[in-house]
């Protein structure tokens, strides 16, 4: 997933990117919109899934710097905490991809999964996901990983992290 100037929807409301007003859209490499469209609601749902937070609790999405990714060798993946949220990073050739850490199949951790070129096989049930096409399911097309926007800029790598706004912060 690439990001470039203009608008972007992270928090379920299209075009409402507070931290990068210059972002104009997202390119999902090689994806036809109809097959790899990730409903915004699912992104928001995933952001709250298991957090016990009600949909009334506002959330905030912002870019967080990621450090140490250059140590990741091509063809490998690892989970790393960013802004208090675990993120699964995958390196394919010289490109990085970021996803939620849980398998959408049965909710198990994806770390330890097998990478075959751009395909990630879940370590528990062997469901396969296409990392280059927004994590869409290879075996079950209705399943997809949770893509997390990743931006490389001026030698820095950032990911967009959604976090709950604590009542005192409002």
Chain position carrying tokens 């967080």: 64
- The reply to whether 79 sits near ligand FES by the rule CB under 6 A is no
**Angstrom distance (rounded) from CA 68 to CA 44:** 28
Q: Which of 48, 85, 108, 163 binds ligand FES (CB under 6 A)?
A: 108
Q: Which of 124, 138, 152, 164 binds ligand FES (CB under 6 A)?
A: 124
Q: Which of 105, 119, 138, 152 binds ligand FES (CB under 6 A)?
A: 105
**Angstrom distance (rounded) from CA 163 to CA 141:** 28
- The reply to whether 106 sits near ligand FES by the rule CB under 6 A is yes
- CB crowding 43-63: b at 16 or more within 10 Å, else e: bbebbbeeeeeeeeeebebbb
- The reply to whether 48 sits near ligand FES by the rule CB under 6 A is no
The residues of the shown chain that bind ligand FES, judged by CB under 6 A, are 103, 105-106, 108, 122, 124-125, 127
């Amino acid at each position: 997933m690439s990001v470039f100037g203009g608008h972007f929807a992270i928090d379920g409301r299209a075009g409402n990117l507070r931290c990068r007003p210059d972002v104009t859209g997202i390119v999902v490499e090689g994806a036809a919109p109809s097959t790899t469209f990730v409903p915004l609601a699912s992104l928001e749902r995933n952001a709250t899934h298991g957090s016990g937070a009600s949909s009334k609790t506002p959330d905030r999405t912002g870019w967080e710097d990621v450090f140490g990714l250059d140590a990741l060798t091509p063809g490998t993946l690892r989970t790393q905490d960013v802004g208090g949220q675990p993120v699964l990073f995958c390196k394919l050739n010289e490109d990085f991809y970021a996803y939620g850490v849980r398998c959408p199949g049965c909710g198990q951790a994806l770390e330890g999964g097998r990478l075959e070129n751009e395909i990630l096989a879940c370590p528990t049930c062997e469901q396969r996901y296409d990392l280059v096409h927004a994590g869409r399911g290879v075996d079950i097309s209705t399943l997809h990983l949770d893509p997390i926007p990743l931006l490389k800029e001026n030698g820095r790598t950032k990911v967009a992290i959604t976090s709950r706004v604590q009542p005192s912060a409002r």
